[in-house]
Structures are given as structure tokens and as C-alpha cells.
Chain A
Amino acid sequence: AQSVTQLDSQVPVFEEAPVELRCNYSSSVSVYLFWYVQYPNQGLQLLLKYLSGSTLVESINGFEAEFNKSQTSFHLRKPSVHISDTAEYFCAVELSGGYNKLIFGAGTRLAVHP
């Protein structure tokens, strides 16, 4: 069975500082990896995903994540955060091939302070 571990439940950071949100997964078969973002009282929005190919994937708002197969990790990074990045971030894994369930981590709350 697949599982996802987000190593930090909360990450406080000052505006314009870099940030890394950590995600490790376990699976014996090939998977797709996702990061979703959730703003208060809203649904989840897809931030970025890794399916295959280049191990570094980027989002349109400056986040990036790197798939590391040997360490079974998919950490999310941003070199300079903004107040508007304050939200909860979820890492998720899905068996490759389609029509499979997304398994979510417990989430990391990113709090950006001025």
C-alpha cells in the first residue's frame, strides 16, 4: 500500500525567505506525485505534479518540487515566499495508470510573516 508522510505540520517563515516543505512517500510500484494548496475554507487546488521525465517540476507561481526516487521524496520549495503563500499544502501520491485513488499526507501549514 502507498503512504505519504509530510514531515512538518507547521512551517513559519518570514516574507521573502526561502522555504522547503518536506514530503516522503512509500510505494513498491510506480506512482504519480502531486502537491495541492488549500486556502482557508476552500477546496484544494493543484500546484504541481510529477508524472515522468524531468525530476524537477515547476508551478506558475514560483514553487518547484524535485522527485528523488532513491530517497522516495518530493519536497516542495520556493526561493522567496510572499504573504499570499500562507495556506495549507498537501502532498499526494497516486498509482500510475489512471483511475486510482489519491492518498494524501496530513498537510503542512505554511505561515508567512511580514
Chain B
Amino acid sequence: DGGITQSPKYLFRKEGQNVTLSCEQNLNHDAMYWYRQDPGQGLRLIYYSQIVNDFQKGDIAEGYSVSREKKESFPLTVTSAQKNPTAFYLCASSRGDDYGYTFGSGTRLTVV
């Protein structure tokens, strides 16, 4: 079955360390997205990519970086510059037409 896989499901890191969250899709979707979810704030867009080797900043890109070297993969790095990295991170993909997004099951990052 096609879908989006995010790993790991739970991640703990010490303050000041960079950490990379994985997102892989086998839906042959062109576009991929990273959202951050905090209680009471809904989902906020971090980065998105519409084609391989190209990506754009979303609303809260500071302290994050991404790459899109393959169509299937869109990893997110949370750097030490991110002031408050503890959150639930969701990856999504879309065909780019009117079918909406498909979401992964998320990664809960806790920085201690």
C-alpha cells in the first residue's frame, strides 16, 4: 500500500544538538511539506517542496533546514538555532492537484 512513512515516532535529544526527521513517500507525489503542530495553534508550515532539488520556506522556517534530493524523500533537520524545538512534526505530500494532502503519522520531538 502507498503512503508516507515518518521515522522515528518518538525522538529525544539534548539541547544544542541537531536532529534529522525522516519522511519517505511511495505515492509518486511531486509536492512534499513539513508542518509543526503545537497545542492550540493548529499546524504551521515549516518548508515545502514542489519538485526535486527545489524547496521554499514556509511561515516558521527559522532554525530548520531541508533537502529534496529524491522525489520520495524530504528530511527535516531541526538545528540548534531553533529556540523551542519540542513539538509534533507532520510530513505531508500531494499530487499538486485537487486531491488534498496525505499525511504521515508524525514524529514527536522532545528536547531536554
User: Residues on A close to B: CB < 8 A?
Assistant: 6, 9, 32, 34, 36, 41-46, 49, 51, 90, 94, 96, 98-99, 101-102, 104-107
A41 → B minimal CB distance (Å): 7
B40 at the interface (CB under 8 A from A): yes
CB contact between B43 and one of A42, A45, A51, A104 (< 8 Å): that residue: A104
**Interface residues in chain B, defined as those with a beta carbon under 8 Å from any beta carbon in chain A:** 4, 6, 30-31, 33, 35, 40-43, 45, 48, 50, 58, 90, 92, 94, 96-98, 100-106, 108
Q: Which of B43, B96, B97, B105 has the most chain A CB within a 10 Å cutoff?
A: B43
* B99 CB to nearest chain A CB (Å): 8
4 further A-B contacts with Cβ under 8 Å, apart from A32-B98, A36-B103, A43-B105, are A9-B40, A102-B92, A105-B42, A106-B41
Q: List 26 A-B contacts (CB under 8 A).
A: A6-B42, A32-B100, A34-B100, A42-B105, A42-B106, A43-B6, A43-B90, A43-B92, A43-B103, A43-B104, A44-B43, A44-B92, A51-B98, A94-B100, A96-B98, A98-B97, A99-B31, A99-B50, A101-B33, A101-B45, A102-B92, A102-B100, A104-B42, A104-B43, A106-B40, A107-B40
Contact check, A98 vs B101: say whether CB atoms are below 8 A apart: no
A99, B96: Cβ atoms under 8 Å?
yes
A-B residue pairs, 9 tightest by C-beta: A43-B103, A106-B42, A99-B96, A104-B43, A44-B103, A98-B97, A104-B42, A43-B105, A98-B96
